[in-house]
Amino acid sequence: MTDTTERDRVVDLMRSSPIAMLTHVDASGALVSHPMATQDVDPDGALYFIAERDSQKVQELEQRPAVNVSYSNRGSWVSVAGSARIVNDEAKLRELWDTFTSSWLEGGPENPNNVLIEVDPDTAEYWDAPGGSKVTQLVNLVKAKTTGSRIEADNSTVDL
C-alpha cells in the first residue's frame, strides 16, 4: 500500500468513528483521557475538536501539547500521536458547530469561551479486522478457535 493509500485509510477509519479519546499529560504528570466528539478530520489527518477555553484540559494542552487520540469502531482501531494547539477561529467554529455541539457547549461559535483544539498528527497506527459487522467478527473468531489459527488483521503505522 502506498503512503497516500494508507493515509486515506486512516482518515476514513477516523471519520467513521465520531467519538475519540483524547489523552494528554496533566499538571501532575498523569495521563488523562477525555471522550471528545470529532468535528472534522482533514485529508492530511488533522483533527478538530471543540472545547471551552477555561476548561482544565485546554489549560493543560496549552502547557503540554503532546497528545494521543484513539478511535475504536466495529473491528477497527486507530491510535494517533501528535501535538494539540488551541485555535481561536470563529469562522471555523461556525463551520464545524452542530446540534450535538450545542448540547454540550453554551453560546455557540460566537462565545469567546469556545475554542478549537486542532491536533496535528505525526503518526497513526491502525488495526482493521476482517469484516465490519459483529456477526462477521464472531464467525472469524469461531473459525480461528476451531482451526487453531489466529485472526489476521491489517496493521500498519503511517506517517501523517
The pLDDT value recorded for residue 91 is 96
CA 47 to chain CA centroid, nearest Å: 7
Query: Hey, which residues does 50 pair with through a beta bridge?
Result: 116
CATH of the domain at 27: 2.30.110.10
What average pLDDT does this structure show over 140-155?
59
The pLDDT value recorded for residue 154 is 74
Q: Which domain holds residue 67?
A: 3-159
The answer, yes or no, to whether residue 124 has pLDDT greater than 50, is yes
pTM of the model: 0.83
Q: Among the listed ranges 45-49, 80-84, 110-114, 150-154, which one has the minimum average pLDDT value?
A: 150-154
Domain tally, the chain: 1
Single-letter amino acid code for the residue at 97: W
Question: Confidence band (pLDDT; 50, 70, 90) for 138?
Answer: very low
Query: Hey, which residues does 159 pair with through a beta bridge?
Result: 123
